[in-house]
């Protein structure tokens, strides 16, 4: 019995001696580029400013670790546990986060640009000011904080907020390439539409000296007239010349579509470009929504229209819609339609 106790004590002593040596190979500001750290238990480890570029952190436990400003470019974080970790300002470009756990992590000011997150759950994460340009594959966004994040070109179509509207997007930047979750109310979210690339500043035209004998005030009206911008050209209406007999009047089509597109916007302008009818056919109750047991004719219609939205603060957003619909008359003779999809 005494021998067994001595063996146990020796093993414990040996492990205590070895532990500091193991811990010394990681830490704050360490250069760990390319290092194999898979399956390592690094919970609550201080890796502030560490260089982990290309490191193998597969299945590593980094829960609650401090990884502020860490270089994680091209690091393999597949199946790593990062729940509660602080990655403020970390660089994760080209990193592999497949099947990683990162819920409730702090990701503010981090750089995820261009990553495919492969349905990564960001539930409860703080992403204030985070670079998410051209990111795709975001999964769960319940209670995620995207305030002031850069979402230009981001693909969020598959993202899900299981709490309904618990994710916060106030001040987040987006552009015309950003794709939002289905049914997401961009205007109500407080996100800001910005241009993808800033236009170069135009140099002011050099002033020509006023001709002798003429007052500069006399040239002012002409200068004012020249400075006045020309009115924007109205988009031409390219209607289908082969509009089938019995199809709905143009006014009825526009009224229904504009009610469908308008939502709760402040001011809407519609510049129709194309209206093209398909071949009329008998409607189906289940697929088209026509009245049951009827011989209702449906008119397939493809519409391309520029939708310009003006907000209360004077800013505008323009979007070209190219969509397919079917129009038909209801059981009381009123025109109605069903949305069939985007072109």
- Do the domain assignments include residue 87? no
**pLDDT digits over 141-159, tens only?**
999 999 999 999 999 988 9
Structural domain contains residue 46: no
Whether the predicted pLDDT of 238 surpasses 50: no
Average pLDDT, the chain: 82
Question: What is the mean predicted confidence (pLDDT) over 226-249?
Answer: 65
- Report pLDDT for 17: 43
How buried is 98 (Cβ within 10 angstroms: 0-12 exposed, 13-18 middle, 19+ buried)?
A: middle
Do residues 32 and 50 touch, judged by C-beta distance below 8 A?
Answer: yes
Highest-confidence segment of 11-15, 33-37, 226-230, 239-243 = 33-37
Question: Quick one: pLDDT band at residue 218, thresholds 50, 70, 90?
Answer: very low
pLDDT of residue 289: 87
Q: How confident is the model at residue 132 (pLDDT cuts 50, 70, 90)?
A: very high
Strands in the chain per DSSP E: 116-120, 136-138, 173-174, 192-193, 238-239, 267-277, 281-282, 297-310, 316-329, 335-342
292: β partners: none
68-77, 151-160, 261-270, 330-339: which range is least confident on average?
261-270
**Domain for residue 301, yes or no?**
yes
Which residue matches tokens 């009047």?
249
pTM assigned to the model: 0.52
How many C-beta atoms lie closer than 10 Å to residue 278's C-beta?
14
Q: Please return the burial class of 178, using the count of CB atoms within 10 Å of its CB with bins 0-12, 13-18 and 19+.
A: buried
| pLDDT for position 123 | 94
- Residue-level pLDDT at 268: 85
Flag whether 209 is in a domain.
no
* Residue (of 96, 102, 116) closest to 53 by Cα position: 96
pLDDT score of 234: 44
Task: Identify whether 292 is part of a domain.
Answer: yes
Total domains, the chain = 1
Residue 262: per-residue pLDDT: 78
Question: Do residues 268 and 258 touch, judged by C-beta distance below 8 A?
Answer: yes
Q: Between 17 and 128, where is the model more confident?
A: 128
| 144: CB partners within 8 A, 6+ apart | 122, 123, 124, 125, 126, 127, 167, 168
DSSP string, 207-256: PPPPPTTS-HHHHHHHHHHHHSPPPPPPPP-EE-TTPPTTPPPHHHHHHH
Structural domain boundaries, residue 273: 238-342
Residue 76 within a domain: no
Model confidence pLDDT, tens digit, residues 253-305: 999 998 888 765 568 888 988 899 999 999 998 888 888 888 999 999 999 99
Collapsed DSSP state (helix, strand, coil) of residue 342: strand
Does 24 score more than 80 pLDDT? no
Residue 183 included in any domain: no
The C-alpha atoms of residue 116 and residue 97 are separated, in whole angstroms, by: 8
């Amino acid at each position: 019995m005494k021998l067994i106790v001595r063996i146990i004590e020796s093993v414990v002593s040996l492990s205590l001696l070895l532990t500091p040596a193991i811990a010394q190979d990681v830490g704050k500001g360490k250069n760990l580029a390319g290092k194999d750290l898979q399956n390592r238990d690094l919970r609550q480890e201080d890796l502030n400013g560490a260089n982990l570029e290309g490191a193998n952190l597969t299945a590593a436990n980094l829960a609650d670790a401090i990884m502020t400003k860490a270089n994680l470019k091209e690091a393999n974080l597949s199946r790593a546990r990062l729940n509660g970790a602080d990655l403020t300002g970390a660089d994760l470009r080209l990193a592999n986060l497949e099947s990683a756990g990162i819920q409730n992590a702090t990701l503010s000011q981090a750089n995820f640009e261009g990553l495919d997150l492969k349905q990564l759950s960001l539930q409860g994460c703080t992403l204030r000011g985070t670079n998410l340009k051209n990111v795709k594959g975001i999964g769960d966004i319940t209670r995620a904080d995207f305030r002031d994040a850069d979402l230009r070109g981001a693909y969020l179509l598959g993202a899900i907020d299981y709490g309904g509207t618990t994710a916060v997007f106030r001040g987040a930047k987006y552009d015309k390439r950003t794709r939002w979750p289905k049914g997401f109310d961009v205007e109500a979210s407080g996100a800001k539409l910005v241009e993808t690339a800033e236009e170069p500043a135009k140099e002011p035209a050099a002033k020509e000296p006023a001709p002798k004998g003429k007052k500069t005030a006399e040239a002012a009206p002409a200068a004012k007239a020249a400075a006045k911008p020309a009115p924007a050209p109205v988009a031409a209406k390219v209607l289908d010349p082969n509009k089938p007999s019995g199809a709905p009047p143009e006014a009825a089509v526009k009224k229904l579509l504009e009610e469908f597109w308008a939502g709760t916007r402040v001011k809407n302008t519609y510049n129709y470009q194309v209206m093209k009818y398909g071949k009329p056919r008998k409607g189906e109750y289940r697929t088209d929504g026509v009245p049951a047991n009827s011989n209702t004719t449906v008119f397939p219609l493809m519409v391309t229209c520029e939708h310009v939205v003006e907000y209360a603060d004077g800013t505008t957003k323009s979007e070209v819609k190219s969509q397919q619909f079917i129009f038909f008359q209801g059981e009381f003779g009123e025109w109605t339609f069903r949305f069939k999809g985007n072109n």
